Copies of this chain bind each other. A is one copy, B any other.
């Protein structure tokens, strides 16, 4: 590693991708998920906006890698998998996908850190909550035909926030010990209420 990189070769620069990720992480953390555009990230990373699309298909995908640092892929695929099957299984499938992500290395730690940061600073943003609500759960509720899909998506996020807070931050004594099958059943049913049931 030297500081004498050739100039004028941005598109081929080996670290352009990581510079975009760094700029995106900083912007999402400062400004939140909704208000950040790919154009603003390009500006912050000092690259051509078109170049972002060379590396990332969409804002949600860039967010997932920059902020979650998890290979969750395209959130649209997650939505499709939650919807793939009987409507009565939406809640359980949503929880199964969540748990699969939570089991990835460092995922719980990252989630907890984001939760602490969001709660600790009065002016802190909520990029992860907005991401999950907007790109996954609201889209699921929309696809199921609910007029109040945005409220449902945000309610679904409160389930996850509350469970993570209780288990990983407050460490309520029984939550970490819940067998996976029971957790999937219980959380799956509450997810079903918020995403799919009539009320």
Contacts and interface: CB of A to CB of B under 8 A. Distances in A.
Interface of A: 115-116, 118-120, 126, 129-130, 133, 148, 150-151, 154-155, 157-163, 165-167, 169-175, 178, 182, 185-186, 189-190, 193-194, 197, 199
Q: In terms of DSSP, what is the predominant structure of the interface of chain A?
A: helix
A162 B169 contact: no
A81 to B, nearest CB: 22
Give the oligomeric copy count: 2
A159 B159 contact: yes
A166 to B, nearest CB: 4
A172 B151 CA distance: 9
Given A116-B119, A116-B120, A189-B199, A158 B175 contact: yes
Contacts of A185: 199
Contacts of A119: 115-116, 119-120, 165, 169-170
Nearest to A169: B119
B172 A129 contact: yes
